[in-house]
Amino acid sequence: MLISLEGKRALVTGGNSGIGEAIVDALSEAGAKVGINYVVHPETAKKIVTRIRGKRGEALALQADVTDPGAVAAMFGRMDEAWGGIDILVNNAGIDGGRALSWEADGGAWRKVIEVNLMGAFYCAQQALKRMISQKSGVVLSISSVHEIIAWSGYSAYTASKAAVGMMTKSLAQEAAPYGVRVLAVGPGAIKTPINRSVWSDPAGLKDLLSKIPLNRMGEAEEISRMVVVLVSDVASYVTGRTIYVDGGMTDYPDFARGG
């Protein structure tokens, strides 16, 4: 089976690092034109654009803070100008906010996590769906997390934001379905990226993390990006309104391999 995204116009938020960067590369390899949204480190976004253009792909670096609806609208305007619209949105930009027990957490920091992970995904989905509904095609895919359904002490804002992304995905999918537009999410488990470096670079932290993963290893960003390419392609034409977990079995609660 050949998956081709030839001629598709894609936008990946937070596309200049970690899972986002891998998604940008995978979409481009499948033939899509890719807008690489970033908020900081323009040099990394520009480097990725150069890399893609070097392989005869099409890419654009698009600066915008996804928490600012005006900036998001302007970014979609630049997609319109460059490529006449959008076919694939990947809401990938996200932060975990750092560990803080709820009674010690700073309200502003808590709000920031919700603004980036939830409001940012919503503002981008809103702009994308306006366009996709009128052209009667398109896919919105949000990067959620296993923490959409697994509680995580110290990360109440993060878990709340991801649970909300899951339910937003279902509701948007229902709204968009009559127009042939799919809305879905991918829930990565422990993928080795900068967001969890403090855990995997510490032997005790890594050992503890691996005990939570049946496949007994962390995932690679490419294991997420490959699934994203499948899901945004016509191979997955009947999949909508769901979060697909790509987690080495983490949501299978490995402690239940014994006892119970």
In whole angstroms, what is the distance from residue 184 CA to residue 169 CA?
A: 6
* 147 sits near ligand BGC (criterion: CB under 6 A): yes
Is there binding between residue 181 and ligand BGC (CB under 6 A)? no
Residue 190 near ligand BGC by CB under 6 A: yes
145 binds ligand BGC (CB under 6 A): yes
- 158 has catalytic annotation: yes
Range in contact with ligand BGC (rule: CB under 6 A) among 22-30, 75-83, 165-173, 188-196: 188-196
Q: Is 96 in the site for ligand BGC (CB under 6 A)?
A: yes
Of 38, 123, 155, 158, which one is the catalytic site residue? Answer: 158
Element (H, E) at 117: none
**Which residue from 19, 22, 17, 16 is spatially nearest to 45, judged by alpha carbons?**
16
User: Closest approach of Cβ 29 to ligand BGC, in Å?
Assistant: 25
Binding mask 197-216 toward ligand BGC (x if CB under 6 A, else -) reads --x-----------------
3-state secondary structure of 135: helix
- Using CB under 6 A, pick the residue from 44, 196, 223, 244 that binds ligand BGC: 196
Per CB under 6 A, which region of 172-180, 192-200, 219-227, 252-260 contacts ligand BGC?
A: 192-200
Pick from 19, 72, 24, 77: nearest CA to 47: 24
Contact present, 102 and 153 (Cβ < 8 Å): no
- Is residue 97 part of the contact set for ligand BGC (CB under 6 A)? no
* Helix runs in the chain, H state only: 18-29, 42-54, 69-83, 107-114, 120-135, 156-176, 197-200, 203-210, 221-232
Scanning 60-153, the segments in alpha helix (DSSP H) are 69-83, 107-114, 120-135
Catalytic residues: 158
Interface with ligand BGC (CB under 6 A) = 96, 145-147, 189-190, 195-196, 199
